[in-house]
A and B are shown apart, each in its own frame.
Chain A
């Protein structure tokens, strides 16, 4: 293998692919990147066995071939190189020489056969999705996944493809985020995807690109002409989230998001480090906040609100509310409630987008 590539191109590919390289691994080759020549240039790939990312960049290929190179070292070297063409030449199966201007490095790699093969995915039956639409879905839901190891299902984002909709749902059992986007020509399919893979999908594909998506046996692949992301799917039935979304919440509040955010941030200062408990009291025109934390202190606040329904007190984990508000796309939000022990929902008010967005949060029991 022998090729010349611009430093910028190489750098771009390394940054994109390195994200998939695990920081610690028992399998040494996973700490390496796979470099392979193609018709168009060179393809660089990294994997942690769950998620694999590869990017193809233009290069002048003299001799074809492939080799694996330590990911971290190569990235560090390329980052510091002067902006001149970089010459990469493999010497045998395990050594690569990198030359750029007067700089010259020899790195020890591993034979390319040791690099795990990408999962086989047949793109013949692939469907196409606009990258921007996926980005929208991912960025509004993935934050809500669980990080507990005990229920692996909840560690993933549920992606439901329907004839006319794309829907993503994520929850940790305490709160849930759900977004729908209109879609044409879908066939019904459900996937549970690790959020880390979705994060790669969101970052690596430009918004206006159209992606090909295809399913392998236990994998899902996202592909654009130059970049591909493969991810393992999480198996199992996703909990029946639709059944727990309340339809009969009859107390409605319309609140200014900025005001709610800043009041909650103030309350969080004195809320317990463990439970982040904040009490909300809804009244016809005023939303009152109060926090009481044993051993620390207390706080009160209030903001104006448009509220329909009987007055009600309800407790929440303030962190959950703050997080949800951060993703709410409108200035006004709609809060719906039923009972201090039942789920509350938060939705954007007067959202111009064609999609639908809803977050749900379970209350914390109040102790007074």
Chain B
């Protein structure tokens, strides 16, 4: 019968290492976090053999006294908190005092540190066994070298991937850190070759440009807004660009990079109806949340946090991102901005028509369906209730409306634009519960095939919310008594038939998704088509309605409604530049 015994601290450290030190990338993360906590402004990371050989992190931080350096390798030794109460609102990356001992227990570790230029000390540890401290000389700062990771835990070592894939994980880690701390210089070398060289950047966009190139940085719209107590800022991909390159998602909460499916979902919700099905946007978002509303001490690697008000947080993200996408800046440019990537901090907000904030929708049964209700306490948009100035519109090819703007020539797709207008109106109607409906003198009889009848069956309630009054007349025959009248050209019966045909087959699970799908389908069928000649008053009315939309720049399929050709672009084509 085995006896219970307390584990030796070395074994305990090795077990802890199982949680904290999963692979070389986690070593890099812990060491870089330590460097950042030490106030480093420049961090160099040297990696050999994908981190399986040597990982070295060199910083210019505060360094440690030689006594502290010895203690740092002991478990639960930390300079960052003293009492449990300090855990609330802890702002340093590390605080558990676990990382360094854990790493030390599974590698050959060397810490070279100095608090003043010149005089320093080296502490070495071999699989958790500390060697005596020796004096050494170094500039202020700390160098931590981790060699032969997992040399004493063959089981772990077996699970390491190829040098290539471990290196990729390390690079990802550094990129994540570098997006969070743009004030710090990062330099990464792999087997002696420089892989990343990131100077301090003033804005997130600059840092993104330094990592992936200016073209990539240009794909994003600035997000910056407050909803309730939460400040959300960062970059979100223009809907038109989404899905055309590999997807990148970064979420930072109070300066800490985390993984959070809920927030990612909230962002995707904000893109709702601007993206084709299956396309998911890239984004980089930083949330500033009151410290008492978030618990970071949930996960050993601190990759997850817990929000006290998760719903509120996700709503805040959704609203702010949706507002950002609604600005005309989210409109795809045919010509790129003249100086991409180096946009000044206060990039001028270009309101093409003044886009007023959406009128608050009635909170009804489907409150979450109403497009972007403005939460109380949000920053009011400057153009709020101003009437929309309608420019001189010209119709081209019976398909587009065109006008001139300070920034260039602006083209609006009449079908897409109308579709967007109707979609938002239908969603509003559904949220309110009913819409005006004109009774018919002669009830229309419609015969459906089985699929369409099924589609009607499952969407009957929603059609009635849209203003249709339909009696199911046995089998597959419908009798239509009343129809909505969203616009004078509306052909209600044809729209009903086409919508049912489009809806048959596909079925969405949630009520909300169903409503959205139906509103989008009906809007598409009800909208004026390319080829319809629009009179001037019709164009003006459409323009005004579009300007009042929440997401004017995109139609319900995620295509653009508005395209701008900048003067720059035109001038270059004409050889004036």
Binding site for B on A (CB under 8 A): 148-150, 171, 173-176, 239-241, 244, 272-275, 277, 294-295, 315, 317, 341, 343, 360, 362-365, 367
Contacts and interface: CB of A to CB of B under 8 A. Distances in A.
Given A343-B439, A362-B439, A365-B469, 16 more contacts: A174-B440, A175-B441, A176-B441, A244-B442, A272-B436, A275-B436, A275-B438, A277-B436, A294-B432, A341-B439, A343-B441, A362-B440, A364-B438, A365-B438, A365-B439, A367-B436
Contact of A274 (B441, B469, B487): B487
Contacts of B441: 171, 173-176, 241, 244, 343, 360, 362
Given A150-B494, A173-B442, A239-B442, A365 B437 contact: yes
Q: Please indicate which of the listed interface residues B362, B436, B467 has the most CB atoms of chain A within 10 Å of its own CB.
A: B436
Interface SS of chain A: helix, strand, loop or mixed? loop
A367 B438 contact: no
Contacts of A362: 438-441
A94 B493 CA distance: 49
A175 B486 CA distance: 17
B435 interface: yes
A240 B482 CA distance: 18
A274 B442 contact: no
B241 interface: no
B491 A365 contact: no
B297 interface: no
Interface of B: 359, 362, 428, 432, 434-442, 467, 469, 482, 485-487, 489, 491, 493-494, 541, 548
6 contacts: A173-B441, A176-B441, A241-B441, A277-B436, A362-B439, A365-B482
B342 to A, nearest CB: 41
A295 B361 CA distance: 9
Contacts of A363: 439
Contacts of B436: 272, 275, 277, 315, 364-365, 367
A174 B485 CA distance: 11
Nearest to A362: B439
B540 to A, nearest CB: 11
Nearest to A273: B541
Contacts of A274: 485-487
Query: A-B pairs with the 5 shortest C-beta distances?
Result: A362-B439, A275-B436, A365-B437, A239-B442, A150-B491
Given A273-B541, A274-B486, A295-B359, A173 B494 contact: no
Contacts of A277: 436
A367 to B, nearest CB: 5
Contacts of B442: 173, 239-240, 244
Contacts of B428: 294
A365 B467 contact: yes
Contacts of B541: 273
A367 B439 contact: no
B439 A364 contact: yes
Contacts of B486: 274
Contacts of A360: 441
Contacts of B489: 148
A290 B485 CA distance: 19
A105 B491 CA distance: 49
Contacts of A176: 441
A11 to B, nearest CB: 30
Contacts of B362: 294
A277 to B, nearest CB: 5
Contacts of B434: 365, 367
A347 to B, nearest CB: 17
Contact of B437 (A150, A175, A364): A364
B356 to A, nearest CB: 11
A295 B388 CA distance: 14
Contacts of A149: 491
A360 B548 CA distance: 36
Nearest to A243: B442
Nearest to B544: A273
B440 A150 contact: no
Contact of B491 (A148, A175, A241): A148
B424 to A, nearest CB: 11
A365 B429 CA distance: 14
Nearest to A151: B493
Given A363-B439, A365-B437, A317 B359 contact: no
Contacts of B437: 364-365
A273 B542 CA distance: 11
A294 B486 CA distance: 14
B480 to A, nearest CB: 10
A175 B442 CA distance: 10
A272 B487 CA distance: 10
Contact of A150 (B467, B487, B493): B493
Contacts of B435: 367
A272 B437 CA distance: 13
A176 B439 CA distance: 13
B384 to A, nearest CB: 14
B390 to A, nearest CB: 14
Nearest to B497: A150
A295 B548 CA distance: 10
Nearest to A245: B441
A176 B482 CA distance: 16
A190 B441 CA distance: 21
Contacts of B548: 295
A201 to B, nearest CB: 26
B109 to A, nearest CB: 67
A149 B439 CA distance: 19
Contacts of A273: 541
A363 B362 CA distance: 25
A218 B486 CA distance: 36
Contacts of A315: 436
Nearest to A296: B359
A174 B428 CA distance: 25
Nearest to A368: B434
Q: Please indicate which of the listed interface residues A240, A241, A362 has the most CB atoms of chain B within 10 Å of its own CB.
A: A362
Nearest to A340: B439
Nearest to A172: B441
Contacts of B494: 150
A183 to B, nearest CB: 26
Contacts of B359: 294-295
A363 B485 CA distance: 12
B243 to A, nearest CB: 34
A174 B483 CA distance: 10
A174 B492 CA distance: 12
Contacts of A174: 438-441
